[in-house]
Structure 1
């Protein structure tokens, strides 16, 4: 199934790349008119795009290294000292794709780590068979996702805790691995949480632990930049109201587009649009295994101080995060704890039918799992037109998913917070927080059209205030 999807993705890219410049131009014109209402002249987004300070900072690094352009893949530049962006404190878990035989990875589900749905739910019916069928096809890519390097950050100083690249700047006492395999990457991940993350979380320096994932067509630089930007927006809002927020970030980077390293814009555009199906599956693959392991074993085992645990994803990153959170019963070693205190899905690029029993073709994998006690809040906006060709799915983050969330017949499975027609995003955030009803058991879909003006509009001060308000309510700092 993965090979047929790859062919379909390529054909999709070839069909639509000629239309892409017109669409991009229209979106650029639309975005150019969107200014932050609080300042009047500062663009709301994207703080990490090709015209940002982050981009210029990395261009300066490239000149310092004597390079005309960064060589190699855009998903291992961190390992080769070619990314200037940092997070303040935390780790970055970097994943890539390589042929199965080259990393000694088994075909299909990696049974050392996870079970099938039928094994986890032996009394399940049709929906369990649908979930299994979807997982089997997702995990059968000839190039599996696997951990190739892990970087640690303390006060913005970075070094590698594990790396398959000999040129990595290693932390003291660590050396690059001589022979990298799938299993070595997973073993290193477990070791890093035990020897680095656990002592950091026990140090008393942090108020929260945040597990974060970004989405489609975000390379390492953009992902790391966005993690820092989102955390900074939350921190700014928290400081303004004297709340405590000093997170320890556990971020993942993954190869979320084809040809993203190409210097030829046309090739990059084809890879961007053509990779949508393959990268949707890749994000789910991460959630089934590596993300599941991080969310439901490694973080709880390392979090001895019981810091509030927040999981946050954007776009396809919500597939990573939500699949991680809702796949806990598949872990062969068993899940620890009861899930994140708060799960935030910003403009999700997955079907809303994943939350609704009896709908869709995936067996509604994000509904009806009693062992999860997280509060899940998802934002949606009628102004999110990120993928106008996605007629095959009712994405939660856009207009079609929002229309289904509004339907009163779905209230048994969804909380819905409508948009208040207030003037300006500042009041829209306040009204959304005031009207929001959320809790464990079913997700809350928030119509954020009043403060989310585009798919990537998730780093603004307004979004920072919204997330800070949710944290105060559902994952406050421990006294």
Structure 2
């Protein structure tokens, strides 16, 4: 009996500490200097050396209580979105039950008493001249919710309206790059080959996220350069979001227990961002800008210089971007479109999704599996190529399997689930239940360039539409091949070395190639 009482007390402490941390997260940050919860997410406006090292943009997201915001929608989700089951085309739809189940999750993701909103859009294009105090790119703000000192009166819709400016700037950026290249080809200033959309995951603050973006892109560019892939010239769009609960924390209990307890809250936050902000950025900003630029290129140059679109996410960042790609249908049709059509203004899709050690369930891709409504089960209807890395050494968040049944795609349970083959008896039992057959194509990575490229190039035709799940245990083992650092207990974060750079480059080379004639 004492064991149960002790367990109840500990659980209660976690709940209380968690609630306390959640309240801290939404207070006015200027009222108490000790509150450090979401100060890191405002750093874009305060620290000049926190710099993206590639041409691109950083979109800063924060979390606030709904009642503290102006412009908040009456529905739990933004007015720019609508439920799948509300569409006029649903009359007699045999899939209506599945749509309603997805809608239920959509409302759950967005129905909290807090809301995610955009507070910064920072532009990094100015090259430093390496003079004193000018060794890093300085941000130019397309949007800064804190443009007034101590401003804490935020409008929810302002961030979405700022994304319209971002779309226009993207078109201009793409045009200017091509114009410069066509005018002065001897400078080898080639067009942007890819727009790389990036998101990091749980417990990665803004500084850590930007550091990781720079590191990953450096390793990918080096891998491309080593094989004379000099046409790899990315334009970057990176998200930073409040994935850290309680921020900088010295309290032992909070640091070691609430830290873990925050997992479920942050999973919900990741899905909310994916369904709404990231969804909008990919489909209404990036892809719309690409389509406009593509049309202009064909008119002016009779050629298509538009970049390929690649989304790369780690851990819960992979959850954000995969959810964003799959949630396109939730964007309301524009007024000029027929109201019964479920589509956004962009007709195209992201070319490639790369989920590095994803912290979401493999069952999301499997029909009738898991408690989440199989939100990704329709992945074959998208032109996007879905690829994932996994490792038997990735032991992060294993307890999720025993609490929710989630088998994270990045860990050993997700890998085992994807590799599982059912016998005939099991198949007969699961005719109307979950069946992962036809969902995953597992590739065992060797870290040999030619061998791995050959595996990617010779995927059987019947497996081409499947999710490519790479067993990357040979490189995701906690040992950093770039600096020799060995952390076997942290294989989940082993994504920053040259080996991972080569893996990412081979996926881009195979599924989102770009070339221009000189």
* TM-score range normalised by the length of the shorter chain: 0.7 to 0.9
Q: Deviation per CA, 1:16-57: give whole Å up to 9, x if none.
A: x9xxxxxxxxxxxxxxxxxxxxxxxxxxxxxxxxxxxxxxxx
Q: Which residue of 2 aligns with 1:379?
A: 389
- By how many angstroms is 1:320 displaced? 0.6
Report deviation, 1:141.
Answer: 1.2
What is the CA-CA distance between 1:139 and the residue it aligns to? 0.5
Distance 1:208 1:418, change over 3 A: closer
**Aligned counterpart, 1:400:** 413
**Does 2:313 correspond to 1:313?**
yes
How far residue 385 of structure 1 moved from its aligned partner, in angstroms, is 0.7
Q: Aligned-pair distance for 1:372?
A: 1.7
5+ residue gaps, structure 1: 1-7, 18-66, 169-175
Query: Secondary structure at 2:416's aligned position in 1?
Result: helix
Aligned length, in residue pairs? 408
Give the Å deviation of 1:361: 1.8
RMSD: 2.8
Is 1:260 matched up with 2:247?
yes
Alignment of 1:231-250 (within 5 A): 231-243=217-229, 244-250=231-237
Report what 1:192 is aligned to. 166
Assess, with a 3 A threshold, how the Cα gap between structure 1 residues 101 and 193 changes in structure 2: closer, same or farther: same
Unaligned runs of 5+ in 2: 1-7, 18-32, 128-136, 179-190, 295-305, 334-342, 423-434, 478-490
Q: 2:201–2:243: 8 Å Cα contact kept in structure 1?
A: yes
Where 1:75 maps in the other structure, the secondary structure is helix
Residue of 179, 187, 212 corresponding to 2:198: 212
Counterpart position of 1:88:
54
Would you say 1:278 and 2:265 are equivalent positions?
yes
Assess, with a 3 A threshold, how the Cα gap between structure 1 residues 262 and 242 changes in structure 2: closer, same or farther: same
Residues in 2 aligned to 1:13 and 1:434: alpha-carbon distance in whole angstroms: 53
Q: Judge conservation of contact 2:287–2:350 (CA < 8 Å) in 1.
A: no
Contact 2:48–2:138 (CA under 8 A) maintained in structure 1: no
Which residue number corresponds to residue 509 of structure 2?
A: 472
Partner of 2:144: 163
User: Does 1:128 find its partner at 2:99?
Assistant: yes
Counterpart pick for 1:77 among 38, 43, 47: 43
Larger CA deviation: 240-249 vs 385-394: 385-394
| Residues 348 and 178 (structure 1), Cα distance of their counterparts in 2 relative to 1, 3 Å cut | closer
The DSSP-based 3-state class of the residue aligned with 1:408 is coil
Task: Map 1:409-420 to 2 at 5 A.
Answer: 409=422, 412-419=437-444
State which structure, 1 or 2, has the greater radius of gyration over its C-alpha atoms.
2
Q: Separation in 2 of the partners of 1:159 and 1:187?
A: 17
Distance 2:369 2:142 in 1: 43
Instruction: Name the structure 2 match of 1:446.
Output: 470
Instruction: Tell me, in whole angstroms, the C-alpha distance in 2 between the residues paired with 1:363 and 1:388.
Output: 21
CA–CA distance in structure 2, aligned partners of residues 72 and 405 of structure 1: 37
Alpha-carbon distance in structure 2 between the residues aligned to 1:270 and 1:83: 33
Contact 2:199-2:238 at 8 Å conserved across structures: yes
Q: 2:429 is matched with which residue?
A: none
After TM superposition, the structure 1 stretch with the greater mean CA deviation from structure 2, 105-114 or 357-366, is 105-114
Q: TM-score, normalised by structure 2?
A: 0.73
Q: Distance in 2 between matches of 1:449 and 1:97?
A: 35
Distance 1:71 1:323, change over 3 A: closer
On the 8 A contact 1:108/1:139 being kept in 2, the answer is no
Distance (whole Å) between structure 1 residues aligned to residue 85 and residue 202 of structure 2: 30
Structure 2 CA distance for aligned equivalents of residues 166 and 297 of structure 1: 25
Instruction: Give, in angstroms, the shift of residue 11 of structure 1.
Output: 4.0
Indicate if the aligned counterparts of 1:350 and 1:395 stay in contact, CA closer than 8 A: yes
